[in-house]
């Protein structure tokens, strides 16, 4: 069931016209990392990296060291899942730099 969901997200793109919160990006990065660890398939790690790049462009900028509340916001809100996003970005970095 998990791999079916991962495949669905793998073949889908993040909607560009929708409000996205850091937690939304975090969830997909986490799912792709878990699918990679479960299957060993590089494509899942590559997709996690793609989503990480998208999330950083969407909710991070030079005006604050904290992620924005959403891709449509200019302020930080803890409730939107920024802590999970930062944690999953770190988990991705660790996976990419294991060697």
The per-residue DSSP string of 6-35 comes to: HHHHHT----SSS---HHHHHHHHHHHHHH
* Centroid of chain to Cα 80: 13
Residue pLDDT tens, the chain, 99 long: 999 999 999 998 877 768 999 999 999 999 999 999 999 999 999 999 999 999 999 999 988 889 999 999 999 999 999 999 999 999 999 999 987
**Residues 6+ away with beta carbon under 8 Å from 32:** 6, 9, 10, 44, 45, 47, 48, 51
The residues pairing with 61 across neighbouring beta strands, listed in sequence order, are 64
């Amino acid at each position: 069931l998990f791999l079916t969901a991962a495949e669905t997200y793998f073949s889908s793109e993040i909607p560009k016209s929708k409000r996205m919160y850091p937690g939304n990006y975090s969830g997909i990065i986490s799912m792709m990392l878990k699918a990679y660890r479960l299957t060993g398939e590089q494509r899942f790690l590559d997709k996690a990296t793609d989503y990480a790049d998208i999330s950083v462009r969407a909710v991070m900028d030079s005006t604050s060291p904290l992620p924005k509340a959403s891709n449509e916001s200019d302020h930080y809100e803890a409730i939107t899942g920024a802590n999970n996003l930062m944690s999953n970005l770190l988990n991705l970095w660790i996976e990419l730099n294991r060697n």
